[in-house]
Amino acid sequence: MDYDALLERIAKDIAPLIGSGTPAEYIPALATVDRNRFGMAIAGVDGSVHGVGDWQVPFSAQSITKVFALALALAEGGDSLWERVGREPSGNPFNSLVQLEYENGIPRNPFINAGALVVTDRLQTLTGDASSELLTFLRAESGNPSLAFDAEVAASEQEHGDRNAALAHFMASYGNIDNPVPALLDHYFWQCSIEMTCADLSRAGLFLARHGLRADGSRLLTRSEAKQINAVMLTCGTYDAAGEFAYRVGLPGKSGVGGGIIAVVPGQCVLTVWSPGLDAQGNSVAGVAALDRFTTLTGLSVF
């Protein structure tokens, strides 16, 4: 497949949507990002990487990092994690407090904020330094040793992180948080602040396309665990728009409010798109459209 020509066509087709939507204004450090940016990259399991537009411009990965934290927590600690977080779509906004009270402090899935806090808490217990462990992993899998935290974004999220603090304290009251909440929040905000390019994220996610195998050929996850993460990405990875995303795109995906979306074609490749303008559910408007065009033009999906 001529990925370069395909990416150029997708970029041309969705060009009218670039600039649509609104950047994540509730995180001041993200609110000023140029909404007219657009990048897309495809990394194949054969090691090839192709891109278009701003595919080598770093951006804030935000909630996309939750996929990698989940993989590390499962690799380090096994299936006991699922006793503390569910695997069902939430149907509510990603930072909602409502369901937690109904469900006794057990988050619906690992990709809403409450669930991701539980995953980071588990990874902190297992490793002693959750955010650094994640950064080390992402550097290795992306092949980019210069990946780093963005201190300005982390500080911005910390300053405006009252809702996440409320989620963590509420779960702690049910005994579902093991580490001190302030330390947990620090690791969570640093985790979300990691800057990566579309190329970095596509390479880093290839273990999900390789059924659990890392870039060096070692096994991070069993085939079953890789399948499980892909399944939860499909059903829960784009917040309360997961049904629409599955309908339009038909691939396991995970979005972030930095405007990025990562998507997996098992056995073949990983795609990442980035455009900062978000829809009401927190997903990139142009990014979803680009992934929709990819699966429409190629016929590649899990269905």
pLDDT tens-place values along the chain, 303 residues long: 899 999 999 999 999 999 999 999 888 889 999 999 999 999 999 999 999 999 999 999 999 999 999 999 999 999 999 999 999 997 666 667 888 888 899 999 999 999 999 999 999 999 999 999 999 999 999 999 999 999 999 999 999 899 999 999 999 999 999 999 999 999 999 999 999 999 999 999 999 999 999 999 999 999 999 999 999 999 999 988 999 999 999 999 999 999 999 999 999 999 999 999 999 999 999 999 999 999 999 999 999
Catalytic residues: 63, 66, 188, 239, 257
CA 56 to chain CA centroid, Å, is 18
pLDDT recorded at residue 25: 87
